[in-house]
Structure formats: structure tokens, C-alpha cells
Amino acid sequence: MTTHPHKRIEDYALIGDGETAALVHRGGAIEWLCMPRFDSEACLAAILGDRENGCWEMAPEGGFRSVSRRYLPDTLILETLFETETGTVAVTDFMPIRGEAPDVVRIVECRSGSVTMRSELAIRFDYGQLHPLVRECSDRQVLAIAGPDAVRLDFDVPVTFEDRWFGSCFEMAEGDCRSFVLTWFPGHGDVPEPIDPREALDETKDYWTDWTSGAGYHGAYRHQVIRSLITLKALTHRPTGGIIAAPTASLPERTGGKRNWDYRYCWLRDATFSLLAMLQSGLREEAGAWVGWLRRAVAGEPIDIQPFYTVGGDRRILEWEAPWLAGFNGATPVRFGNAAAGQCQLDVYGEVLDTITAARRHGLEDNGDSTALVRLLADKLEDQWEHPDAGIWESRGPQRQHVYSKVMCWAAFDRAAKWFDGEDDDASARYRELADKVKGLVLEKGFHRKRNSFVAAFGEEALDAALLRLPLVGFLPIDDPRITGTIEAIENELIRDGYVLRYKTEDNDDGVGGGEGAFLAAGFWLADVYALQGRMDDARDLFERLCGVANDVGLLSEEVGAEGMLGNFPQALSHLSLVATAMNLGGGGPAHERGGEAEENG
């Protein structure tokens, strides 16, 4: 068996258990798996190198005539159907909701005729470089151990170990079924009890269909929304409620480029849109868990607030490179960890305070610390808001006075003023004065009169797509001429092949260099402002074009280019934006709720 020489991001599908995830290629290979947590070291890392960096191939021996795949309805259970010259076989891949240990289950069923199947598995701990010590318990059960990590393989067929690969070749006739289970456990710990694959399949199916039935979205584009909600649920760490940006690292934003980042962390940004999308989907439990994670993550002195944290709320996230990995289609360096965690990004203050106030407005349970947290954050921001920062796009170039960051500083003070209104009128008045001061500065220095548009940073002429969010967070009404001019400028300058760029990389010293694809979330933001403007045909056309980027199982990446999907995958922000825009097209939605702040503020 050989892997595909040129990889496409859209050829992958997601499976997961709410604590970690794996990516499965349409050809039957699991090429990315981190155990036991989303941000743990990968034991299968072929997606960032080659098959020798760890993968689990499961496909007909000698190839196949065609392949199709789908998720079982309203679940995260993947079914891949191979048609060969002699028969048809289905491979069902899933991760059961975790019990004693994390498991990956593969069930192979012959649907017609007869098929010779082959399973080949290379376990490579430490992101594809560490070969484990192998101990054979029987011809169908094997243990592989290396330092802190161990896996057990339980197969329905005999398995051999040769040249550091576990191999099985087996004949299947119509009606035959074979199961394969990979279970992770700590290298120093007891070996967990094996699971029953068929029972696990039924339980996993029930879990997902029960959960999906509780999602209260019944508007237009329901199929796309439900698939996005399932994806977001899969990217939500069940024990803590944190939502990771993506389950992958270093999938490039340009083919062969160096914009390769680790997204297996929880960003504070977009917290409010996440909250409102979950609430308006009937997912109050998830919304409450997300706000709880947020409060815990930023607890302590606000001087320590970071743009993102681990799912457990850990703050120390070191960035490093893995030179032994050749990269996705040669895109290097391959990075793990993310140095942007240490950046100053002032917009996160506005996101956190907006989320906390939205949670109270919707009646979510408060742990009693929110008032103190609002005061601490707003007071700290009073000392910082005039500083330059790295901005929403996490620039690694010179810090600048980013307009969007300043707008979110306004949002922070605006929400703080509303929080204390009627409770502490002196504090409310002080925060209102600060909000007005920030707003005045943005209107004076952030709006370019000759261009009739807001710009990316004070004293500049360049645009960035974050400016689309100004009416979405209630900074100015959608019909304000300055907002109209900004939308027109972005339409004229940042749309490429029907999709929206974050900014023109050639006009922006972001410290990285090289180009990138169009940013899918920014396209949804543009659709949102179209909806607020009443341009419903334009909004729907753009929304449907963006939905069309999804692969055959409904998943979206971070970006798109002429060559297809780009960036980490699947991307939570892209799916969150899809959900929010679908709701906004229905006349409600997060943009309408947050945009109403502009009317309240006159």
C-alpha cells in the first residue's frame, strides 16, 4: 500500500471523542492522531510528512475502482465505501465517547462479492520520530510502548510485525465483519480493559443522534448548520468546555509556504459569537461550559491575559520546529506550539467582556466572580488601550495602532459601563467616558476621509477584513456612511475570485512573508453585513458560495485558494461563522443581537 504523493486538505475527514481527534484520508489512512488530548504529541503524523511518520492504512489490497464516504446521519461516525473489481467493502471509523481510555475503532464490512483487505499500521510517537518497543500478547493483540505513551491493538485478524509495521491481510466475503481497535494508555499505567467494537458503535451513534436532536436550529440551510455544530462539538474539550481552533498543526496557508501554525488551542477571540451561536442553537449546556472555561482561563491578574490557552487553561505555550517532518506537500517549517500566545492583542479584552455580559443577558449561571472580573479587566485596559499591539491577525511584524483592536477596546468599556449601570453608577460613568474617548479617537484617526473608509491601522491606507466586524459588534450602525464606504472599499480591494482576503500580504509587514489564501470566516462576515444592509440576495449568494467550499463530508478549512483548501482543518471559526451567518440570514442571529449595541449607544 502506498500513500498519495500530492495531498489535498479536502481529502480528509474528522473523527473524535471530544477530547482528541484524528484525520482520516479518503483513501482509508488515518494520518493524524494525537493522544490523549488535542494538543498531545501525535502518534500518527503522516499528514505532515510521509507514511513512515506514522499512519494506519486500511484499504483493499491491490487498489479500488472507486471510493465514496459519508458521515452516518447526525453523527461523527465516518463510513468509507470502496468498490473493487470483485466486491464492495465499507470501513466505519469512529472514536467512542471516552470511558476508561481513548480508542480508535475501525470496523470493516463486506457489502457484496469478496474483497482482500490490508491493514498496515506504523505507530510513531513524538510527532512521527519515535519507534515504540513492541510486545506481542497474541497473534491478535499487541502492545507498543515508548516512554509516557503506550497503545494496545486488538484486531479480529492475525497481525504481524515486520520492518516496524503492523500488518494484516485478510479475505472478506459478503456479510463478513472484522473489527480493529487502537487504545492509548499511559506507559506507566495499567492496561485498560478492551471495549466491544459493536457495542461502542451503537453507543457512539446514540450519543451523537441524541445530542443532535437537542440542537434547536430548524431554519434554512439546516444540513450545513447541523454538520457545523457537530464539528464544533467535536472540537469542544468535554472535560473543560474549551473550544480549540482546529485539531491540526502546520497545515499551510499557502502551498509550500511557511505560514504554518499550531491551532490546537482555545482562542478568546470570537468568544461572543461562539456563545450566541450556541445559545441560539439551543445548546445552553455547551454555552455555559464555554463561559466557564473562559472565566477560569482569564482568572488571576489581568496583566497575564493571553490571546489563547490550552484546553486545560494552561498559559505556557512554547513554539518549536520539527525538522524531521517534511511538511504538508513540503511546507516547512513544521511548527508545534504557538508563540502568538505571548503577544499583546488588545481586542481580546473586548471579546471577554462582551461574552460575560452576553452570558448574563441570557441568564447563564454565574459563579459570582464576574463582577470582579469585569472591573479588573476594564481597569487594566484603561492603562493599555492606547498602546500598539499585534492585532487580530497576530502579526509578527512591528506592532501598530490597529483600528479593530481599538474598536474592541471601545466594546470592552461599553460593556463594562452597561454592566455597572444601576449597580455602581460612578464606575459606569467612568467606563462610559473611556468608551467615548476611544470611539472619538477611532473616528478621528482610524477613518481615512479620502478613501471614505476605515483602515487597518492609524496613519495607514491599507485595509483589512476585520473592519467588516465594526457594525457586527455595534460600533456604528450598518447604515452609517463610514461603514458603507468601508464595505465598498473591501469589496473593491480584498475580494479575490469571489472570496475575501484578510489583507493584502504585499501591503502588510506581518513578519512572515509570502502569500496566503482567502480567509473563509471573512467571507461570512461580509455576508453578515450584507444581511444587515438588507442585501439579502447578495448575502445568500455569498453564503452559498462559501458553503460550496466544504468537502464531500461538509468540513471547512481556514482558507481557500486556487489549489483548494488551505490552513488548519477543520477550522472552528469557519464553521462557527457558517452557523452565525445562517442565523443572520434568518433575520435573527448574533450579528443582529450584537449590532443592536450601535442603536443603544446612539
| pLDDT of 2 | 44
List phi, psi (to 5°) of 247. Answer: -90, 10
- Structural element, H or E, at residue 161: strand 160-162
Residue type, 290: W
Q: Indicate the range of 225-229, 411-415, 481-485, 592-596 predicted with least confidence.
A: 592-596
- In angstroms, the CA 252 to CA 559 distance is 10
Judge whether 18 and 234 are in contact, CB under 8 Å.
yes
Q: State the pLDDT confidence band at 355, using cuts at 50, 70 and 90.
A: very high
- Per DSSP (E only), the strands in 7-123 are 12-16, 21-25, 29-34, 42-44, 55-60, 66-71, 78-83, 87-94, 103-122
- In angstroms, the CA 598 to CA 483 distance is 12
DSSP one-letter code for 157: S
Strand 42-44 to 55-60 pairing: unpaired
In the structure grid, which three cell numbers stand for residue 280, read together? 441560539
| pLDDT of 576 | 97
- Residue 602 burial (CB count, 10 A): 5
Judge whether 525 and 594 are in contact, CB under 8 Å.
no
Q: State the pLDDT confidence band at 522, using cuts at 50, 70 and 90.
A: very high
The SS3 call for residue 109 is: strand
- Within 8 A by CB and 6+ apart from 255, the residues are 329, 331, 561, 563, 566
Judge whether 406 and 441 are in contact, CB under 8 Å.
yes
- In angstroms, the CA 507 to CA 252 distance is 21
- Within 8 A by CB and 6+ apart from 383, the residues are none
Does the structure show a pLDDT above 70 at 160?
A: yes
The SS3 call for residue 408 is: helix
- In angstroms, the CA 287 to CA 363 distance is 11
- In angstroms, the CA 207 to CA 99 distance is 13
Residue type, 556: L
| pLDDT of 302 | 59
DSSP one-letter code for 259: -
Does the structure show a pLDDT above 90 at 96?
A: yes
- In angstroms, the CA 128 to CA 29 distance is 15
Does the structure show a pLDDT above 90 at 366?
A: no
The SS3 call for residue 512 is: coil
| pLDDT of 3 | 47
Counts of helices then strands in the chain (DSSP H, E):
14, 26
Section 392-404 average pLDDT: 95
Which range of 265-269, 370-374, 547-551 scores highest in mean pLDDT? It is 547-551
DSSP states of 311-378 as a string? TT-------EE-TT---GGG----EES-GGGGS--THHHHHHHHHHHHHHHTT----S-HHHHHHHHH
| pLDDT of 216 | 83
Q: 245, 255, 251: which is closest to 517 by C-alpha?
A: 255
- Domains in the chain and their CATH numbers? 9-190 (2.70.98.40), 224-600 (1.50.10.10)
| pLDDT of 135 | 86
Does the structure show a pLDDT above 60 at 4?
A: no
Does the structure show a pLDDT above 50 at 365?
A: yes
- In angstroms, the CA 539 to CA 528 distance is 7
Section 93-108 average pLDDT: 97
Judge whether 399 and 390 are in contact, CB under 8 Å.
yes
- In angstroms, the CA 337 to CA 317 distance is 6
pLDDT digits (tens, 9 = 90+) for 568-577: 999 999 999 9
Does the structure show a pLDDT above 80 at 300?
A: no
Section 354-360 average pLDDT: 94
Does the structure show a pLDDT above 90 at 321?
A: yes
Alpha helical stretches, state H, 446-588? 481-493, 520-533, 536-547, 572-585
